[in-house]
Amino acid sequence: MRVNGHVVRDAEFPVRQGVDRIEIEGERLAAAGRLVLMLNKPRGLVTTTKDEQGRNTVYSCFAGAELPWMAPVGRLDKASEGLLLFSNDPAWAARITDPRSGPDKTYHVQIDCLPDPQLLRDLEHGAMLDGERLTAKAARCLRRGQRNAWLEIVLDEGRNRQIRRLLAAFGVSVLRLIRVAIGPLLLSGLPKGRWRILTAQEIDSL
C-alpha cells in the first residue's frame, strides 16, 4: 500500500479521509465514508485489537460481522463496562477524545462504602497523583445501600484508569464501573455485548 506516494506496511496506519491519496497495487482507492458504532462492552474484555497475553478482546463482539477496519475511540479497561465507540475515521476519533473538543463522559460507579458530601466535593476538587491532577467534572450519589453506593461521575477528559485512581486517592475502592453516556449518546437499550451503527444525527451530536 502507498499513502501519498510512500510505501506503508502498517495496516493500522492512520490516514485523513478526503486528504491522503491511498493506492494498492497502483490503483487509487476511493475514500470510505465515516462509520461509527457503539458497543456495550462486557466486563472482562480488553480494548485492543490483539493481546499478547491471549486475553479476549472487544473485537470478539464483532465476530462474523464483516465490518471494515474500526478502531476504538478511547478506552475502557478490562474490569470496566459500558459504552465504547469505534470508528474508521482517526481524525474524527481524535476530536472526540480531545478534552478541548470532545464531549463529556458519564459513568455509574459502585463503590465499597457510603459516601458523604465531603467525598463528592473531594472528587470534584481532585487530587495530585503521579505528578498530574485528576478531577471529576461532577459527582453525585445515585443510590445507597447498607454497605455500598452508586455514584454518577462525569469526566471531561479520559486519563488511564482515572476514576479508579481518583477514588483510591480518598481510600475508596470501585466494585463496578459502567460508562453510560458519551455526550448526549446514551447506552440505554443496548444489550451487553451487542453493538449498533450510529446514525448521522447521532454522529453530528457528538
pLDDT digits (tens, 9 = 90+) for 140-193: 999 999 999 999 999 998 788 899 999 999 999 999 999 999 999 999 899 999
CATH number of the structural domain 105-182: 3.30.2350.10
Quote the cell numbers at residue 35.
Answer: 462509520
For residues 47-59, average pLDDT? 85
For residues 83-111, average pLDDT? 93
pLDDT band for position 29 (cuts 50, 70, 90) = low
Give the residue numbers annotated as catalytic, written as ranges. Answer: 77
**Other C-beta atoms lying within 10 Å of the C-beta of residue 61:** 19
Residue 94: phi, psi to the nearest 5? -65, -40
CA 133 to chain centre: 20
Beta-ladder partners of 197: 37
CATH architecture for residues 36-101+185-205: 2-Layer Sandwich (3.30)
- Say whether pTM exceeds 0.85: no
CATH 3.30.2350.10 domain span(s) along the chain: 105-182
